[in-house]
Structure 1
Amino acid sequence: MSDATTMRRVGALVLAVNLALAVGKTVVYLDGGSLAVGGEAVNSFADAAYSVFVIVGLYLTTQPPDFEHPHGHERIEPFVALFVATGVFAAGGAILYQAGQALLAGETTVDFGLSAVGILVASAVTKYVLYRYVYAKGQETHSPALKAAALDNRNDVLTACAALVGVLGVRAGYPLLDPIAAGFVALAVLYTGVEIVRDNVGYLVGSAPPEALRAEIIERALAHPEVEGAHDVVAHYVGPEVDVSLHIEVEGDHTLFEAHDIETDVMEAIRDLPEVDDVFVHVDPKELGEWKADADVDRLAEGRRED
C-alpha cells in the first residue's frame, strides 16, 4: 500500500471514530448535563470537524508533482496541521469558558447514571489505541498532519480521564468537581494546540532537522572511499521534507567523469534517507585550497562513531 493511500485511510478512520464518540458523548450530556462530558463532546466534534480538513489536506499533499509544483505538494501538510491547531484552540476556549461560568456561579446541577462513566472509559481506551496507531503511521509516512492528529488523540486520553474524575466526583457528592474537571480538560486541549503549532512552525521557517539525521547525512557522505572530508553541510526543512546541500573534499586528480560519479554516489546515498527530498553536492578539489575544517561536521561525525 502506498503512503498516499495509507494517509487517506488513516484520516478517514480518525474522522469516523471522532464522529462516533461525539455523538455518544452528546447523548450522555443531554441526558445528564455533566459539563465535563459536555466539554468532551465539544472536543470530539471539533476533532471531527478538523478531521475533514485533514482528509482534504492529505488528498492535496499526496497528489503527484506537476508543472507548477515540481517537488510535489507535501509542503501543504504543515498548513493542514496548523489548521488542526486552530480547531483545537477553539474547542479548548469554549470548554474553558463554560467551566469558568459554572465555577463563578458556585453551583452545578447534574443528573446522570453510569452511562457517563461508560462513555468516558470507552473514549479513553479508544483514543489511546487510535493514538498509537495514527502516530505509528505518521512516523512511517513522515506526515506532520497525521502526527498532529495523533498528538490530539493522545491528549484526548488525558481529557477523558479528567472528565471521568469529575463525573465520579459528582456521584460521590462533590458536584463542583465537574466544572473543575472540565477546566482541566480545556487546559489539556489548549496544550495540544500549542504542541501542534510548535512542531509545525519549524517546517515552515526552515528549521534544521534533528541532530541524529544530520549526523546520518554526514556519515553517508564520508562513507564514500574517495571522500576525505565534508564542510558547509546545510540541512533544513522545506515543508515536512529535508533539503541538503554540502561540499565534499576529494583529490584533484580525478577526471570529470570520476568526479561526477562520486557526486552522484554521495547524492543518492543521502537521498535514500526517507526524510530527505533534494540533495545538492559540490565537489571541491584540494588544488583550489577550499578544504577547511568544519566543527559541526567533526562533532556530528564523532558522535556517530561513538554510537
Structure 2
Amino acid sequence: MSDSRGRWSDLDRPPLGAAALRSALIRPGGPWTRLRVVEVTGSTNADLAAAAQAGDAAPGEILIAEEQTSGRGRLGRGWSAPPRSGLFFSVLLEPDVPTERLPWLPLLAGVAVASALSRTAGVDTALKWPNDVLVTVDGKERKLGGILAERTPSGAVVLGMGLNVSLRADELPVPAAGSLLLAGAPVRDRDPLLRAVLRALGAWYTGWVAAGGDPETGGDPAVGGLRDAYVAGCATLGRQVRAELPGGEDVRGEAIALDGDGRLVIADADGVRHPLGAADIVHLRAT
C-alpha cells in the first residue's frame, strides 16, 4: 500500500500558516475579509466563483490551495504544479468602477505581484502584456506566473494567480516556464511572499477603486497611477512582437503604447496602429 503522505513530505516545501496569514491580512475596514487554505482542489477560481454564486463567499475573500489539479490559464489552457511549490490563490472582488475600466484589473494585479516579488523575494521581475509575470533564468525571459480574471453571473470578479516559487528545472511544465528558485531569488519562503503580494494587491485595488477605476490617477498612493506603473514595468513595450488573436489571425510589429483602456497598441510594418484588447503576445528576438 502506497504512502499518500509522500507527496506532502518535501521538507523544502513546508505548508502555509493559515492562522498567521489571517492575523497578518484580515483587518476591519481592509480589502480582505476572509482567508481559507485548502490542501488540494481543482481550481481556486472555479471554487470561489461557485461559492460566490451560492452565497457562501463575499467580496474580499481569499482562497488558497497548496495544490491545484485543474488550474486554468487564459484561453482555457491547463496549468498545474507540484504540491506546495508555488502560490496558487484567487480573490473575490466587486469593484465599484465603470464596466469599461474592468480590463485594468488584471493589469493592476500584475503590477502588484511584480512589485511585491521584486521587493520581497529580491529578484528582478517584469510584465508581459496582458497577464504574465516574467523573471530571468540563465539570461532568458521565463514565465514565473500568470493572472486570470473572470466575471461571475452577479457581476463580481474572481481574480486568480499562479506563481512558481520552488519549481526545479525537471518540474517545469514547459521550457519557457521559470520559478523564483531558478531565478536565484534569495527569499523563497511562501508565507512572507504571499503576505507581500496580497498587501500590494489590496493597496493598488483600494486606490484604483477610490479613483473610480481611473488608471491615470488610481493606484497605490505610495507609488502613483496604475497606467504609469504598468508601463514602467512592462517588458512588451518597445519590443517587436507577434500578437496571436482569438480568431486565429496574427499581427506583427512593434508594441508602442498602452492606451487608456489597457489595450496594447502595435504598429505594423506599414505604420498602421492596431489596438488589441485580447491576444497572446510572443516577444520576438531582434534580427
Question: Which of the five TM-score ranges fits, normalised by the shorter chain?
Answer: under 0.3
Q: Which has the higher contact order (CA 8 A, sep 6+)?
A: 1
Structure 1 or 2: more strand by fraction: 2
Q: Indicate the structure with greater helix content.
A: 1
- Give the TM-score normalised by the residue count of structure 2: 0.28
